[in-house]
Amino acid sequence: MNKFKNINPTIIVIFGGTGDLAKRKLFPAFQNLYLDGRMSEKFQIIALGRAEKSNEEFQSYVLDNLNTFSRKKGLSDPETQKFLSHITYQSFDIDKEDSYQRLNATINSFDQAFGERANRLFYLSITPSFITTISSNIKKIGLAANAKQDRIIIEKPFGYDKTSAIELNEMLSHTFKEEQIYRIDHYLGKETVQNILAFRFGNSMFEPLWSRNFIDFVQITVAEEVGVEERGGFYEGVGALKDMIQNHLLQILCMTAMEAPASLEADDIRNRKADVLKSIRRIKPDEVDHYIVRGQYDAGFIKGNPVPGYRQDKGIAPDSNTETYVAMKIYLDNWRWQGIPFYLRTGKRMEEKQSSIIIQFKPVPHSSFSYGKEGMTPNRLIINIQPSMDIKLQFMTKKPGLSLSLEPAEMIFDYFSCSTMSPEAYETLIADALAGDPTLFMRWDQVEQAWDAIDTIQQVWKTIAPTNFPNYKAGSWGPEEADELLARQGHAWIRNTQNKIKEEILDDTDIQ
Ligand code: BG6
């Protein structure tokens, strides 16, 4: 908490200030930080966009959006009005040096008003193809000349494969030092994702069990109900592997599998995460089909409502081969996890929104209890990241009654019972960037390793087009091949339907 007291005067420049991310996430995050007293008294947001607008017009546009997207709405709230007065709009052409000169003049005028040279935070909320132009102009004009005070936040994707990411990083390094670059993965800002570290390393009882000796397998699911919505132009040609696996799912994998860091210092934590990424077993081109399944949704029904197939979505080619679903089996070649499969899956237009980690423990070595025809339900630890935010431990207990038979039970820690108002991921991340704490951001070696881990898959998929797309129905749990991927090993995706899990356990129908 103390770090917020030390937030220095800061000028925040948002490239893409009129874009979707800014309106849905960035301005609400800044507003909430401001209302919670987590911004310096001296701060200014300069939003850049192509259109001509006055400050008043832009501030009223931000206010409308806050009322739709912010967790603390506040149309009539005087504090929100004060917050708005800290926003300046400037029309901007990314390709024109003159625009950067004008930006420089604006920044300098705020420095003068503050009576000191403020920190500068450049937020790049734009398509990656503009990063090079922006970065080289920032260098040319000297906008980020102070390595201790100036930072840049870059949204994913950082490059589109390993080679392009290396090039991008090399180019950025002409303007920014590594410690100035904050590569964002918003999953790392989620409360429940951060709690994985607290849960693992703030308790002694799980650590002895947290290895190949007691764990049978791990499943990480990030399922979405939504399709590509208005983002077809971006998503087409990108796909789930690059959009979700390379970043969000591999980061969750790191949090689940990493060794204890020597301290909570940024580099100690990031070193241990980088170790996990390095230990991911690299697969050969002819093994890709054995370890990974790709899918694309067809028309179907979600919660009873008809939805079109991916190829019918706006901005999508009618013969598109972009994958909207990936399931994969990962092995980590290290002492702790040798031989234990980590199953990762993510998809759009799935039956329900659900992000979770399921740790399945090994079965008891021998059981004298009688328990149905399926045998006993293994012990499981389920960490629900969203929309449920809880941790469940499932175990067997004696069924009340005269006979000695067992039934599954669970213990639950539910976030909502502790707090109904947890900060949004972007609030946490922006607060950290303002305070100069890079722990929750991706260091370059992590990004490079993450690209390396999926490089072969990308290359094989680029050359061999799928023959069976679309291969899963919207509203389902993905293609059948994803079930086969686990069945080969005698495993199955565990049904973790949010809120219904208790009844499911009691019915003992735990296979999806
Ligand atoms: C983004 C992806 O990074 O994460 C989107 O680009 C995806 O395709 C989104 O929908 C999911 O984020 P969340 O926080 O809604 O789970």
pLDDT of residue 402: 84
If you measure from the C-alpha of residue 376 to the centroid of ligand 1, how many angstroms do you get, rounded to a whole number? Answer: 36
Q: Which atom of ligand 1 is nearest to the CA of 355?
A: 16
Classify burial at 199, counting beta carbons within 10 Å of its beta carbon; exposed 0-12, middle 13-18, buried 19 or more.
middle
pLDDT of residue 332: 98
By most ligand atoms within 8 Å of CB, the mutation choice from 248, 322, 426 for ligand 1 is: 248
Question: What 3-state class would DSSP assign to 237?
Answer: coil
pLDDT of residue 404: 81
243 lines ligand 1 (CB under 6 A): yes
The two three-digit tokens of residue 57, written as one number: 């017009």
pLDDT of residue 7: 78
By most ligand atoms within 8 Å of CB, the mutation choice from 186, 226, 356 for ligand 1 is: 186
pLDDT of residue 77: 82
Domain boundaries, the chain: 10-155, 188-366+388-393+440-490
Instruction: Phi first, then psi: give them for residue 350, nearest 5 degrees.
Output: -90, 175
455 lines ligand 1 (CB under 6 A): no
pLDDT of residue 371: 59
How far is the CA of 421 from the CAs of 71, 77, 222, in angstroms?
8, 18, 22
Query: CATH class for domain 10-155?
Result: alpha beta
For 431-446, the DSSP string reads HHHHHT--TTSB-HHH
pLDDT of residue 419: 67
Candidates 26, 30, 24, 28; CA nearest to 7 is: 30
Q: Which atom of ligand 1 is nearest to the CA of 231?
A: 8
pLDDT of residue 506: 40
Pick the residue whose CA is nearest to atom 5 on ligand 1: 243
* CATH code 3.30.360.10 for 188-366+388-393+440-490: yes
If you measure from the C-alpha of residue 129 to the centroid of ligand 1, how many angstroms do you get, rounded to a whole number? Answer: 20
491 catalytically annotated: no
pLDDT of residue 33: 95
Annotation: binding site for substrate: 186, 190, 224, 243, 348, 353
pLDDT of residue 358: 98
End-to-end CA, the chain: 42
How far is the CA of 339 from the CAs of 280, 330, 457, in angstroms?
12, 10, 21
Mean pLDDT (10-residue bins), the chain, 512 residues: 66 96 96 92 96 96 94 78 96 96 98 97 93 96 95 94 96 96 96 93 94 98 93 90 97 98 95 98 97 98 96 95 98 98 98 96 83 72 94 92 86 81 91 95 97 97 96 98 96 79 42 46
Q: Which atom of ligand 1 is nearest to the CA of 156?
A: 3
pLDDT of residue 511: 45
Annotation: binding site for NADP(+): 16-23, 50, 93-94, 156
The two three-digit tokens of residue 365, written as one number: 């070595």
For 456-512, what is each residue's pLDDT tens digit? Answer: 999 999 999 999 999 999 999 999 999 999 999 999 999 887 654 444 444 443 444
If you measure from the C-alpha of residue 462 to the centroid of ligand 1, how many angstroms do you get, rounded to a whole number? Answer: 23
Asked if 325 and 240 touch (Cβ cutoff 8 Å), the reply is: yes
Question: How far apart (Å, rounded) are the C-alpha atoms in residues 453 and 456?
Answer: 8
If you measure from the C-alpha of residue 191 to the centroid of ligand 1, how many angstroms do you get, rounded to a whole number? Answer: 16
Q: Which atom of ligand 1 is nearest to the CA of 247?
A: 3
224 lines ligand 1 (CB under 6 A): yes
Total-model pTM? 0.93
Pick the residue whose CA is nearest to atom 4 on ligand 1: 244
